[in-house]
Structure formats: C-alpha cells, structure tokens
A and B are shown apart, each in its own frame.
Chain A
Amino acid sequence: MTEPVVSMKNIRYSYENKNVLANINFEIPQGSFMGLVGPNGGGKTTLVKLILGLLKPDQGSIHIFNEPINKLKDQNKIGFVSQKANSFNKGFPATVFEVVSAGLTSKIGYFKFINKAHKSKILETIDQVGMLDYAYENIGNLSGGQQQRIFIARALVSDPELIILDEPTVGIDYENVKRFYELLHQLHHVQNKTLLLVTHDTGTMTEYATDIVCLNKTLHFHGNPEEYSSLTEKDLSQFYGHPVNIVTHNH
C-alpha cells in the first residue's frame, strides 16, 4: 500500500475556548478522491486550513507527504481551490492568463521572470480546463462556473500532487456543476491526482468519490460511497445532530 498523502493523528483545535475539532484521526490515501461532508460549523473549513498550514492544531500531529507539516519544503505539492468564484473582487483587472500565472509565482521563485516554458505551461493548463478561448479576457467578464475553472487551472499549473477544493460549486448552476465534476474525474483518473473535496452536494459527489468522510467536530463516518449510500436517515441524523431527509438525485 502506498504512503498516505495526508495523515492526521489525534488532532484537537479550539477557537475562543470552543472545541471546533476533537479526536481527529484520518488519512488521505494517495490517488484517492475523498469527499468531506458535514453540517455548517462542523469544522470542515478548519480541517482544510490545518492541512494547508494556515492554522496550527492545539494538539496532535499532521504529516503531509510523510513530513511533519512545519517541515514541508514544497508548498507547491498542494493546490487549493476555494469558494473564490463567489468571494473574489470581480472588478479586478486581470486576464485569465495573468490569474493562472499567479499559480506559478512561488514555484518560479523570487527575482526571477516568467519564461517561455512557463508561458506554454500556463496556456496548456488553461486549455486543460477548457478555457483557452478566453485566455486573454478579463476574468471579471466570465461566468461563475468559468471563473471556478480558472481557479482550478491556477491550482493545477504548479503540478500539485494533492488538490484541495473547499465548496467549489457553491453558486454555480447545475449544468456547470456537472462539467466541473467531469473535470475533477479526469484529474483523478487520467492524471492520478489525489483530491480532497469539501462539499454540501453529497448527491453528485458520491458518483465520483472513492472515499467519503463525515465531519461534525469529530469524524462520524469514513468509508466508500456504497457504504455511505447504505446509511439510513437515522445514522445521518446522528452525524448531523438534527433530522436529515435523504434526497436522491436521479440523473
């Protein structure tokens, strides 16, 4: 069995004396497509921030690519896509090319310039997310779904091994969400990327993910989509702390 990409042991994190996360033990195996679900305020984003090194746990250890998180040398092994399509400043005057090039900034290093090889890599990545026709358009002129593809390209351009997506489909219409999942599927299957997807949209996600984790302060479930689908409403109510109605998507 291959080494896990992320391994969290006995993690506790509290904010203003409130336990946000407790007793978290889990691993993200290499090559998996993990879906992370749970109620609002259940600590999903906090968990992501711990993996990204933006927060430090009160207790426990985090290893990334087998190294303690504070010794991780190459941040570019992790790509991150946030809910940016909703929250970024839409008037920002930058072209798609410029936005994607920002994904290479730290990889290229200080005092160095973008060269021809970087430029073709940027265009190739924009092509990969199907947005090459828009490479020199201002990002503000694109739709939410298109912008989110650009943010994926920015995360991809530095060739990360692990890609973390925090609710990337919020505010994107159904058709585009579907195309979005197809893109993730291709990244996972064709390019062997490890994916961690935080989402509310459990319906579509179960069609693509290989592992599902339910988080509400602590991990309530960790299994494959079949096991997740066989959970009853009663089980889920326990995870969420309130009654849940299972809605099936038939498409």
Chain B
Amino acid sequence: MLADFFQYDFLRYTFLTGLLIGVIAPLLGTFIVVRRLSLIADALSHVTLAGIAFGLMAEKKFGLMIGPLYSGMVFSVIGSVLIEKLRTIYKAYQELAIPIILSAGVGLSVIFISIADGFNTDLFNYLFGSVSAVSKNDFFMILGISIFVVLVVVFLYKELFTLSFDEEHATISGLHAKRIHLLFIVLTALVIAASIRIVGVLLVSALMTLPVAASMRLAKGFKQMMLLSILFGELSVIIGLVSGYYLSIPPGGTIVMVSIIILLIAIGIKRIRSKPEKARNSA
C-alpha cells in the first residue's frame, strides 16, 4: 500500500514531512493543551493563512517569488509575538488575544485573496492539506524546523514542564518565565507553518491537540503523555495520508478523522479500565 509513496518523489517528500510533523505537532501540543492554550494554535493558523495569501498574491500580481510557505511562517511568528503583547495588555482577559489575532488573520486573508482576484486549487490545498504539495525545498525547510524544535524541547524540557505546571512557582524559583514562554510561542508558530502543507490551515490545530487529548486519558505522568501523543500523532498522519491518497480526499480530513477515532478508542479504554476500580471503591 505504501509502494506509491516510495516510488514517486512528490509523495515521498509528503510522506517524510508527514512523519516529521507527526512528531513536532503533538510534542508542542502537549504543552499547549496543559497550559490551556489550545485556541492559540487556531489563531496562529489563520494568521499563517494570511501570510500564505500574501505570498500567493505577491506571486500572482507582482511576480515576486517569496514562496507562500515562507511568508506564512513570517506572518505566523509575528502573530505569535502580537498574541503575547496583547496578553500582557489585557491581563484580566488574556483569552481576548486569540479572537483578535484570529479575526485579523481571516480579515487580511480575505483582502489579499481579493486583491489577487482569487486563487484556484492552490488555496484549497492550503485550507485542507494536500498529498502532493510538498516540494524538495519545503521538505528540507520543515526538516530544519523539526530539528530545531526537538532540540529546544529536549534541552529546555524541565523549564517548559516547570513553567507549564505552575507559572508562579517557576517565576519565584528564578526562571525567566516570560522569555521561555515567548520562545515557546514562536516555536508553535513555526510548527504550525510547517504542518500546513499537509493538514491545512483549518485542521492544523487538531493535530496539535487531538493526540494529546487521547493520551491524556491513558498516560501516567507528563513524559509518558508526551510520548503517547507522538505515537498517536504518527499513527494519524500515516493512516490519514495513505487513505487520503487512495480515496482522493485531502489528507487534512482523513488525518483528523483518524485522530478522532483514536481519541474515541482512548476514551473507551479509560472507561473500561476505571469501571472495575469504581466497583472496588464502592464495595
């Protein structure tokens, strides 16, 4: 079944990229979920869309070949910094930063798209993902991002964990909480931009949160949850990509549906496991 993926270059790069984002999206997703920042991923993916629309517009209207993935990434990183700024301005209502940035992203996208007199299938691919959209250059850029993200998480794991569990304690113990947090949000922006080629703008946050939601039901401890999330992420990407290709469905849809099935199974397993416990406790 996988033969096509190794035979054709464009499929091979998609597949390898899929394996990379199957690691990095749930890896950062673990911290995002426990810090209750799930919606930030959505806001940033819409800002990335604005960047992509900008890149496509520049290409179509002015002949500037910036590459939509690069402009998407720049927008996403700027958006992440702005979210942090807004969160400090609205201290009592930090979640306001998310709808503000999300709507700005959508608004800008609409403007860029209409200036360019609309795009065709290209934009559709960016919205829902595509099995054939990853070029060799894209792959190497995403490989670079993935290595960077994994290194940062490995070397700052204990700081990220300490900060996620209890921000007040982290600050008191002398950690540079604000700087670490900013670095983390910028990493998130990069991972979102990297994932969009395959899962699409509308579904990228799902790949960061659904595997984590599933592993949360089953894992003991944080590290285990993280590893289980990556396993679920990889499973979703592989099954989703292959089935998407053979069924001619954008992989964003199939990947997310596989994650949902994994999530339902995890919830089911947890129920079965906790029933005998409850029975014992009430006896």
Q: Which residues of A contact B (CB under 8 A)?
A: 52-54, 75-76, 78, 80, 82, 84, 88-89, 91-95, 97-99, 101-108, 110-111, 113-114, 136-138, 154, 158
Q: Does B225 contact A (CB under 8 A)?
A: yes
Q: Does B85 contact A (CB under 8 A)?
A: no
Q: Does B220 contact A (CB under 8 A)?
A: yes
10 inter-chain pairs at a CB distance below 8 angstroms, sorted by A residue, are A75-B174, A84-B166, A95-B220, A102-B158, A105-B159, A105-B175, A110-B159, A111-B156, A136-B221, A138-B220
Q: Which residues of B contact A (CB under 8 A)?
A: 34, 155-156, 158-159, 161-162, 165-166, 168-175, 216, 219-223, 225
CA distance A113 to B219 in the complex (A): 23
B221–A154 touching, CB < 8 Å:
no
Task: Identify whether the interface residues of B are mostly helix, strand, loop, or mixed.
Answer: helix
CA distance A110 to B39 in the complex (A): 29
Residues of B within 8 A of A102 (CB): 158, 161-162, 165-166, 169-170
CA distance A154 to B170 in the complex (A): 11
| From B174, B216, B220, residue with most partner A Cβ within 10 Å | B174
Nearest to A138 among chain B residues (CB) is B220
Q: B153 to nearest A CB, angstroms? A: 12
Residues of B within 8 A of A84 (CB): 166
B172–A75 touching, CB < 8 Å:
yes
Nearest to A95 among chain B residues (CB) is B221
Q: B59 to nearest A CB, angstroms? A: 41
Residues of B within 8 A of A106 (CB): 162, 170, 173-175
Task: Identify whether the interface residues of A are mostly helix, strand, loop, or mixed.
Answer: mixed
CA distance A110 to B175 in the complex (A): 9
B155–A94 touching, CB < 8 Å:
no
Closest 7 CB pairs of A and B: A75-B174, A95-B221, A102-B162, A105-B162, A106-B173, A106-B174, A94-B222
CA distance A110 to B157 in the complex (A): 9
Q: A45 to nearest B CB, angstroms? A: 12
CA distance A53 to B177 in the complex (A): 14
Q: B126 to nearest A CB, angstroms? A: 34
Of B155, B156, B222, which is within 8 A of A93 by CB?
B222
A95–B158 touching, CB < 8 Å:
no
Residues of B within 8 A of A91 (CB): 216
A80–B222 touching, CB < 8 Å:
no
A75–B156 touching, CB < 8 Å:
no
Residues of B within 8 A of A94 (CB): 161, 165, 221-222
B172–A54 touching, CB < 8 Å:
yes
Residues of A within 8 A of B172 (CB): 52-54, 75, 78, 80
